[in-house]
Amino acid sequence: MQIYKVGGAVRDRLLGKPVTDIDWVVVGATAEEMLAKGFRPVGADFPVFLHPKSGEEYALARTERKSGRGYGGFTFHASPEVTLEEDLIRRDLTINAMAEDDHGVLTDPYHGQQDLEKRLLRHVSPAFAEDPLRVLRVARFAARYAELGFQVAADTLELMRQLSESGELEALTPERSWKEISRALMEEHPQVFIQVLRDCGALKVLLPEVDALFGVPQPAAHHPEIDSGVHTLSVLQQSALYKQPLSVRWACLLHDLGKGLTPHSEWPRHIAHEHKGLKLIKQVNERFRAPRDCQELALLVGQYHTHSHRALELKPSTLAELLQSFDVYRRPQRFEEFIAACEMDARGRLGLEDRTYPQADYLRGAATAARSVAVQPLLERGFKGPELGEALKRERLKALKAYKEQHSQ
């Protein structure tokens, strides 16, 4: 029995990056031997075991054969005869197909170290094209290592293009797709993930609503970058720069989908794009079964982001309706995330990335003013039931009028 550290742990150590998760592969062992040593089995499809003390994953060396469509369409074979090289060749990228023994000796049959130095994301073997999930994984690695100058190798991008055209991407489950998308959006350069998907034709299969934004112009006075798709990538980039949570990044990606529906004859204006985009945002949310907080925020940002940009001009009654739509009285955090997404939208414009966004503090102040209206005095005046709700609305509107007057002077 020989045990090797494999994959990401080896890659990140060689890159000088912190190693978080460690995966191990065991060569020359049977499942019975692993159980006898106290390892606990966890793999339903192939033999993976948890170490009795560290809890880390140890997988028996295995080969795989394509047996169906999609990410799960594989038959695995694990036995003591499977070599380390045979196990490594079934991995996605050369930089993930290296192993280290307990003396730190590197096994690198597919030149992963060389590709690390060349800053290339290259597939290990033609079998790469058998797993559609790898299209998303490679795009995610491109986003993760963009800072270091990594690029997708031309022949790998071509394989990704073939996969995108094959219909295999449609076989991915919403759960698997969302897992990769959500992880990619939380990388330091999530815009690279979207760009790589677009470069290989996967974006128009997975997110045609986002793909449709590229080539759609906007008024240069407000959007010096002009192209709606380029703007979306910039907004996403800003959301990462400002360390926004996943819900905000998801909303940033989807906020302008309505612009993809504007007739060419109306370009570069996009009248009512906020409302038009809602059905598309809903469509994307449902396709990937995004978590509820991501779904809700994306819809609200899509509908109201221009309200935020015009916040200082809004009438008190419109402000009151906006605050009510977000239920700021019970869910203040969601409104805070809305403001953050709108600020990223404003900053995601060519040459305007550092411009201040006074609307953010103005909206926060409005929410504070409305929330400061106390219920108790109204109860003491005998209001109850629906009448109490109406009285509360009137008092909040009064507070917002006073707030607006104070800021108009």
Instruction: Tell me the binding residues for CTP.
Output: 8, 11, 91, 137, 140
Annotated binding residues for Mg(2+), written as ranges, equal 21, 23
Contact 359, 312 (CB under 8 A): yes
Strands 120-121 and 151-152: parallel
Please tell me the distance from the alpha carbon of residue 320 to that of residue 330, in angstroms, as a whole number.
15
Annotated binding residues, written as ranges, equal 8, 11, 21, 23, 91, 137, 140
Contact 161, 207 (CB under 8 A): no
Residue 128 sits at the vertex; the CA angle it makes with 152 and 186, to the nearest 5 degrees, is 50
Please tell me the distance from the alpha carbon of residue 192 to that of residue 232, in angstroms, as a whole number.
12
268 upstream amide cis, omega within 30 of 0 = yes
Please tell me the distance from the alpha carbon of residue 338 to that of residue 342, in angstroms, as a whole number.
6
Q: Give the CA dihedral 294, 299, 301, 304, nearest 10 degrees.
A: -160
Cα–Cα distances (Å) from 101 to 2, 18, 28, 43, 173, in that order, read 8, 19, 14, 23, 36
Provide the token pair at 64.
Answer: 């795989």
Annotated binding residues for ATP, written as ranges, equal 8, 11, 91, 137, 140
Residue 200 sits at the vertex; the CA angle it makes with 196 and 203, to the nearest 5 degrees, is 70
Cα–Cα distances (Å) from 349 to 17, 199, 222, 229, 234, in that order, read 32, 22, 8, 11, 7
Contact 164, 200 (CB under 8 A): yes
DSSP state of 4: E
Is the sign of the CA dihedral 312, 317, 321, 324 positive or negative? positive
In the Cβ-directed half-sphere of 262, how many Cα atoms lie within 13 Å? 24
